[in-house]
Structure 1
């Protein structure tokens, strides 16, 4: 029996107004305890461009320099987060917007410089997550909505991968709840053929994952989600599911669509 759903919604859903509204309606309709973690989408890039702050990426990862951390803090923790909370309130879901700094819920460590200096980017360990404030909100019937931001304990906000935040929260909260972690994005699940949206692999265990890796059939973009999924499973999370944002409500039932990780 699953009694907590931790749901991460990707940036491409955030950037699609119609898909986002549909997703939020279905998320609000989930009657069980739930947490939402959202990505940033392209809003920070657009606002940064208006402010004359160039977005820089290495291998698809944002370089978060001093100017950029100001932009993503404003956009992720402010604009995007509060818009989502307001929209959930309009749909009857009593939500509260949070970052990892609020309640000291998610302390992080600034990523050390190796070959690349990612700037103000945070790495999270599940054992650092402070669950008491989250449990108090859940037990009070309030749905936490987390922006992809953490803090270093010394006053510095850090930009942090939303998939990792979702996985870390799921692992930490699995000590109290039976958790299903759901990654929602614009695809129907993990695909055996990245060019065929219907080529969904319905079930992946460790052996199947190794076979898929050996066959090199998985797209690079799905690998971090699978790494986070198996990390969560290995540390107490009951189930992880990767699927389309439109399927979020059905994916909180026993009849799931997408890819179940076990």
Structure 2
């Protein structure tokens, strides 16, 4: 089956590296056919928050999004970062449009319930309520949607939402209409057998290999959520998921992939 939609998530570490980002956007723009970009936030929100006297708080690497912080991430992710990416893509001949999950009510979410930790205004995607009609209309007219990692609760509240989760949720919802390859781009070449060796890429992971890697404790904490999202997508209709380096994004839309293919 031909892949006819690429959903590509680019990580915050790429957003924070101007040279890597420039190279990535040139290659992303060159991908033929239908594509969607979802971007992380990087450290820009932290830097701007510091300038405004709003301290960033984290628990286990996850940002606590209080009332002041949701204002900062909305401005930075939905405004500054998103519109800069869109403008740069236009300069490379890619007709992009910047969106959040609130736009056209595409990605409704619910505020994460308070358990041991109150994450504040953090959203969990309402996967079964995604509205793909507006996205399909944009894709069918040759426009490339670019999503900031923001959703909404339907009652006027913007929510900070994990970009990996947004990417897999969109891939699942759109797999009803397209054959989808979901690609996670970051600063590594793929899932590594040895985190100290950038070339120790595991080229293929299926469920059996995944269980074996877990048992051998080869997978690092950073890659586990990506793999969980990947298998969640595969189990719900997404054709293929690929994890690889941002520089390989163009080749990773072809049959000759350079990262880790999950199937």
* TM-score tier (shorter): over 0.9
Residue in 2 aligned with 1:89? 90
Residue in 2 aligned with 1:259? 260
Residue in 2 aligned with 1:153? 154
1:61 CA displacement: 0.2
Residue in 2 aligned with 1:16? 17
Distance in 2 (alpha carbons) for counterparts of 1:63 and 1:71: 12
1:201 CA displacement: 0.3
1:165 aligns with 2:172: no
Gaps of 5+ in 2: none
Residue in 2 aligned with 1:130? 131
Query: Match of 2:195, SS?
Result: coil
Q: Deviations for 1:108-145, whole angstroms, at most 9, x for unmatched residues?
A: 00000000000000001321210000000000100000
Distance in 2 (alpha carbons) for counterparts of 1:115 and 1:11: 27
Q: Deviations for 1:234-261, whole angstroms, at most 9, x for unmatched residues?
A: 0000000000000000000000000000
Query: Match of 1:53, SS?
Result: coil
Residue in 2 aligned with 1:2? 3
Superposition map of 1:180-219 within 5 A: 180-219=181-220
Mean alpha-carbon deviation: is it higher for 144-153 or for 121-130? Answer: 121-130
CA RMSD of aligned residues (A): 0.4
Query: Match of 1:208, SS?
Result: helix
Query: Match of 1:240, SS?
Result: strand
Distance in 2 (alpha carbons) for counterparts of 1:165 and 1:130: 13
Residue in 2 aligned with 1:234? 235
Query: Match of 1:220, SS?
Result: coil
Distance in 1 (alpha carbons) for counterparts of 2:59 and 2:213: 26
Distance in 2 (alpha carbons) for counterparts of 1:175 and 1:235: 10
Moved over 6 A (4+): none
Residue in 2 aligned with 1:248? 249
Q: Deviations for 1:14-72, whole angstroms, at most 9, x for unmatched residues?
A: 00000000000000000110000000000000000000000000000000000000000
Superposition map of 1:107-118 within 5 A: 107-118=108-119
Query: Match of 2:222, SS?
Result: helix
Residue in 1 aligned with 2:223? 222
Distance in 2 (alpha carbons) for counterparts of 1:212 and 1:107: 34
TM-score by length of 2: 0.99
Distance in 1 (alpha carbons) for counterparts of 2:38 and 2:6: 11
Residue in 2 aligned with 1:139? 140
Gaps of 5+ in 1: none
Distance in 1 (alpha carbons) for counterparts of 2:219 and 2:176: 32
